[in-house]
Structure 1
Amino acid sequence: MIVRTLDAQRDPFRPKEDEEEILEPEFHYLSAFGTLLYLAQCTRPNISFAVNLLGRYNNAPKCRQWNGVIGIFRYLKGTTDLGLFYTHESPNVATLYGSRIDFCLVGYTDAGHLSDPHRARS
């Protein structure tokens, strides 16, 4: 996953350095980002923060952002049992892996004010 840090040299979202080059078209960065955006909006909201950070660099992605995309895909491959499952049954009962379960939607939030350490915004 993508991790923010207060150390400017280790932050993967620091400003572009002079020796960095923009990715070539054969990397298909926008196609991979579109796939991640679909997953973040429909079935995997746990990756939405990282995907939104990568979306800031769609105009001129660099190798750092491509490594972030690859890292999210590796995370998704390792957590295939997580996600939102939509069923056609009654809204209070779902069947998951052959067993009926009662469910309700529970949401949590983290109000971390160091999400953007360079501008100190939430």
Structure 2
Amino acid sequence: MTQHVRSDCGMVECKKPTEMFEDNAACIDQLKDGYIKGDRIKHILPKSFFTHDLQKAGEVQVVQVRSSDNSADLFTKSLPTSTFRRLTHQIRVRRLDDLQ
């Protein structure tokens, strides 16, 4: 699927799987070992298992990242100033003053 998006956008196709960074160990275990069928997840919609299906097909590779290095936290959490600056630098966001 990811290759289809790349080709439609005119990007070079890549043969390696898309890396998905995750900081939740329980989520990574479920993706790698398969979802446990039980009473606690029986109400989850089947579309929620899409990521698991992509990983089984070899299109997505889940990589564990420490919570302190998770750049997605910039958009979802209130962070200390030092962490905020480090993560914005990590995703190459610069202040206008720094560019001149």
TM-score, scaled relative to structure 2: 0.28
Q: Name the one with the larger helix percent.
A: 2
Higher RCO (C-alpha under 8 Å, 6+ residues apart): 2
